[in-house]
Structure 1
Amino acid sequence: MNSSITRPSRKPAFGARPHTGGSSTSGARRFNSNSSHPTSGGLRRSFSSGGRRPFSSGSGRGSSQRGGGGRGGRKMQTFDVSKYINLNPVDTTPEEIYVAKHTFKDFGLEQPLVTTITNMGLTIPSAIQDQIIPHIIDGHDVVGLAQTGTGKTAAFLVPLINKTLKQYNRQTLILAPTRELAIQVEQELRRLTDKMKIFSTVCVGGINIRPQIQGLRRQNHFIIGTPGRVQDLIDRGHIKPGGITTVVLDEADRMLDMGFIHDMRKILQDIPDGHETLFFSATMSDTVKGMVFEFMHDPITVSVRKKDIIGSITQDVVHYELHTKFDTLVALLKKPEFTRVMIFGAMKHSVEKLSQELIKAGIKADAIHGNKSHPQRQRSLTNFKTGRVQVLVATDVAARGIHVDDVSHVINYDLPNTYEDYVHRIGRTGRAD
């Protein structure tokens, strides 16, 4: 994973023209594919699945499609992808280059931390880091509105590591929506605290709880986990809320979307008054506002939003005839420009089935979904990141919090249910190293 301390570089995104598996007659169906092949102007491209009604895998009476056929009775999606077809994107509002007011040396950080950051080759903070680190150092509750790729993880880790170096008995609890994101946060924590004797334990579901309990028996400066497992360990007495001095809610909006509101509320209620609370979220929904009002004390809000990606991505629909959806997909994947492809499906079993059918068709593929164990998911993700497989088939929930650079194409084999999920999917094209 790339360091999220560096300012994200603007690498040209990519696109490929949609494959048409038949004429676009009224009987033809469509699926959406977002792609990445160098285009003039550095704009990004994106393609999706739909017909007169949005198509999900296995749709169509009497369909015998391979790769995740549907079941009659499953509710069809209502997302209308045709509204977002954009064959000629024009990037009329280039993103401003942020001019930082500080360097990392200006924050007054402890020398071991400054040395580590310098050795990583980092001097200038990103916008969210530049603006929010001073407030966290000063002890304020903060709300950071920032998307993935803005350096938000280091924006809270750097000042909290600094506080820990000055006050060694501090304990920080970081809540994240998924196992993968929790692990990525700890990996970055380890990079930033090399040789500093700062200890952490990751507490997430889907993994044997015993090693986590064992890890909690030693002194931990940082506990990083998902809300359900953290609440379980609090109930068992292995995490002591009374010792927590700072709580970080990373991707708070995603945790709320995934139904963790009751666990989040109970965890925050159990922690004594006087602790610091840091909220990081891509959006400020009414539910997030309610949590901020309920649990934060005079928070300072810092909003650093990257420009809307929709206008700069070519989005199109790939047409196919009845019963040819899977074959059309395979034909796309065999094109040379489809080098690293994420395919999104609606359900866990259909995602797994599609990946297996792709393998049979000669495509190097793997899948990530909730029915896989944590080690299996990590292996699938590693295979994709290292290029052992060309294609990663995923559900929306399993893919949340996953950072993969240089994804050449995103294909919506099943359409998302919401605009937010659509944007989250297609924004994965064109991520740079």
Structure 2
Amino acid sequence: MPTPHNIPPLSLSLQHRNALHYGMLGFPLALLGIPLYLYLPNYYHQSFSMSLALIGSALLAARLFDVLTDPFIGWLSDRLKLHPSRFLQRQWQIILGIVFLSGGTYQLFFPSNNPGWGYLFIWSFITYLGWTLTQVPHQAMNAEISSESLQKTRLASYREAFAILGVMVVIILPALLGLDANSEMFYQLVFLLLLVSAIIGALSLFFLRQDRVIEQLEEESHSVKAPSLLYVLSKLWREHRLVFSIMPSYFTNNLANAIPATLFMIFVSDYLELSEYTGLFLLTYFIAGIVALPVWFKLAQFFNKYEIWQASMLLASLSFIGVFTLQAGDWLGFLFICILTGLSLGIDIAMPTSIQADLTQDVLSEKLPTSGLLFGIWGMLTKLSLALAIGISFPLLDWAQNNHFIPQVILLLLYAAVPILLKIGAWWLLVNLSDQSRYKEE
């Protein structure tokens, strides 16, 4: 949405300050990801003697329920935001989410003696719910801070930079402090970092400054009666179908990213036989992502957002072809691939989020409050892609082993060939949308 000429934009220094205040919450949300999704199952198995079947079924059930909550929480967030009380605005919703998130995380990390299936399911669901209550309003705010398209990219880029930092910190911590990832001391440290950074990130949101265009839109939207969920969805589909336009490409691309992420540990240990280099590969990948973000952002000032996202997907796809040349022990070759694919890491998340914020703001300008709902659907697609990656990859590997296929070949195809094809498919879907793009960076 263009900025009216008679309304001056925020100064560049204030825009950067806004992006910093907005992005900080990305750190705690990303910090929690690896301990919660990768380390926790083994922690419960080793420390509390729970069977892997019980752990897996409890976590799967919690995730299935969690996937369904995102659109509803997004719609509810929009509805509460229309209320005149300042205690129902997005910032306060996020604080409520952090209460659920920290409470659920504490119970998961430090359970009572002999936790069972019900305990793990309930506290996992509460933790996931807190995550959703925090993340959906936070992402929705991207469309509600600035009317300038480039600033939305800046906001998303800062958020992803903090998110990458959060992942790097939780990877480095065990090695740096000599802690076992299954030790209670490690979880105490992670919880302390989560709590402190989440509080700082949430409080920083109160220092955000909206530009005058957004303030006017929000003043007008407060006179709108809060519509029902079904009404909003049907109206969006009938009259504003463009807001859903990049979601198929986003979902396909996210699935392409999720499959190799799911299989990364197995690929490094079983195919490359380089498990001792796992930390180096991960750190290199994430460092490349942070280093490349400013370059991508600079390019976004001269090229269409769709073109930038297309370029990042092509770079990742072409770089990943190199996986087929690797042999066991080829650590240098895989390190180079980690660098090349890592260059696309941050922008591959930031740019589609920025595009979706542009599309969402067009609807906001027509007095239809949908930012939370649309980013709730966005979150649902993200979680669904992760669930499908697990649901597809592991059963296929198990089937290959039980049916006398060469597991290494299947692993290679799943880790590299399938993601490349999916990412090219996502690129093709986006190319077909590029003619509809009206968002040029100024």
**TM-score of Structure 1 vs Structure 2, range by shorter chain:** under 0.3
Q: Identify the structure with the greater helix proportion.
A: 2
Q: What is the TM-score when the length of structure 1 is the normalising length?
A: 0.25
Q: What is the TM-score when the length of structure 2 is the normalising length?
A: 0.24
